[in-house]
Copies of this chain bind each other. A is one copy, B any other.
Amino acid sequence: MAKDKKMVTAITSMDEDFAQWYTDICKKAELVEYTSVKGCMVIRPYGYAIWENIQHILDGMFKATGHENVCMPMFIPESLLQKEKDHVEGFAPEVAWVTHGGNDKLEERLCVRPTSETLFCEHYANIVHSYRDLPKLYNQWVSVVRWEKTTRPFLRSREFLWQEGHTIHATAEEAVAETEKMLNVYAEFCENALAMPVVKGKKTDSDKFAGAVSTYAIEALMHDGKALQAGTSHYFGDGFAKAFDIQYTDKENKRVFPHQTSWGVTTRLIGAVIMTHGDNEGLVLPPAIAPVQAVIIPIAQHKEGVLDKANELKERLAKAGFRVKLDDSENSPGWKFSEYEMKGVPVRVEIGPKDIENGQCVIASRWNGEKVIVPLDKLEETVAAKLTEARDGMFAKALDNMNNRTYACETMDEIVSTLEEKGDGFVKAMWCGEEACEDEVKEKTGVGSRCIPFMQEKISGKCVCCGKPAKHMIYWGKAY
């Protein structure tokens, strides 16, 4: 008990040390555990159950928009990786190389996929011949490897789980529409399921995916004012098709190059959820992805009838379709309260002898700490209402945080002084479109370009850096 008790105490305060607070939650909510494989982690049952829920919802959205799942090999021969020039330049420095199979040296090195454009291209070259074969709307749920120097659970690890969509279309218009559609799917998912507001926009050229014509992204703002890229969607034009010689016969019987896209989100979404909603008691999970949506905690459980009643409530909530858990362990109610607060369970149902006498229970909401007394015959509807309220309240709170930490600035001096005064956040400022200015802003203010948002505003007419006529309003920020 003493040891268990320690587990739910002693989490670093987020104001004191945000990075340590984050790591504490990852460990103490039992999301991950370190391994002897540097930069890689074990995703523990509670963390993996969150990922399964994310997968389940997103996979449904992908299938509803006509996508099919496939599975490509995890290895890419070096010669295949090299076929698209920009792509190999972007990824080769950070891939893991397999050089031996058993005791034999391989004739050609294989990299462990950092992403699978090259494999999909090879496959499309095999199966796409006619306009009738288009589009192909494929996705896969796998892990990928990038040999990062500095790693943090969920945010940056050498191996991470993700999905990668890869589609191929007859026309550029179709492919661009797909790129935008999937960015919207991601945004909708983040806002609805994760209760996390995002800014949708386009990356500047210096920040594009290796081999892409254009990269779109959704950017979220964490509790500490740093930005987090939560998902990306890339339009490739016909560059990969040309590099891999994918051609099809169109309706006029001409051989033409198709257009491609790819898009992905990763387990870093779990990191985003932690840093968007978490507090000093631990994790706060949006109901849609919470492994346990309601935990039932019996009070004075040794008294006659309490466990029976608690079990009855559990059965009722399970039957109503909630993910519910009854903790009838020997730990004290207080310990259990802390434990499930740490784990971010959205709703806690307390039931004790007095409650039973009065035909009621207590329902506490994790996100705002509110408690209500509820007649037992209103259990299901109240839990449903509290879960909806949690999602909506968490979203509104996160949106407030984002809005309060988004600053319009007209000069570089203003950027510096605003951030100094108010702390990190999104900076909205104008840009002429020149990479040199982008670099200079970063160098002199410490914030980099996050995206050119689709929702443009006119902060001023001039580039924040060079003062020449501005082309775009950009969101700038420090990023995870």
Residues of chain A having any CB pair with chain B under 8 Å: 3, 33, 35-37, 40-45, 48-49, 51-52, 68-77, 80, 92-103, 110, 112, 119, 122-123, 126-127, 129-130, 138, 142-143, 145, 147, 158-159, 161
Contacts and interface: CB of A to CB of B under 8 A. Distances in A.
A70 B45 contact: yes
Given A68-B45, A95-B102, A99-B97, A74 B147 contact: no
A129 B80 CA distance: 48
B74 A145 contact: yes
Give the top 4 A-B pairs by smallest Cβ distance, nearest first. Answer: A40-B73, A101-B147, A45-B68, A97-B100
A35 to B, nearest CB: 6
Number of copies of chain A assembled together: 2
Nearest to A120: B42
Most buried by B among A45, A80, A123: A45
B36 A123 contact: no
A96 B93 contact: no
A40 B112 CA distance: 13
Contact of A37 (B35, B49, B69, B73): B73
B94 A97 contact: no
Contacts of A110: 37, 96
Contact of A71 (B43, B68, B71, B126): B43
Nearest to A140: B48
B102 A94 contact: yes
Contact of A42 (B73, B97, B99): B73
A97 B95 contact: no
A126 to B, nearest CB: 6
Contacts of A69: 45, 48-49, 52
Nearest to A51: B71
A219 to B, nearest CB: 27
Given A43-B71, A74-B143, A33 B97 contact: no
Nearest to A52: B69
A99 B98 CA distance: 6
Contacts of A3: 129-130
Contacts of A95: 101-102
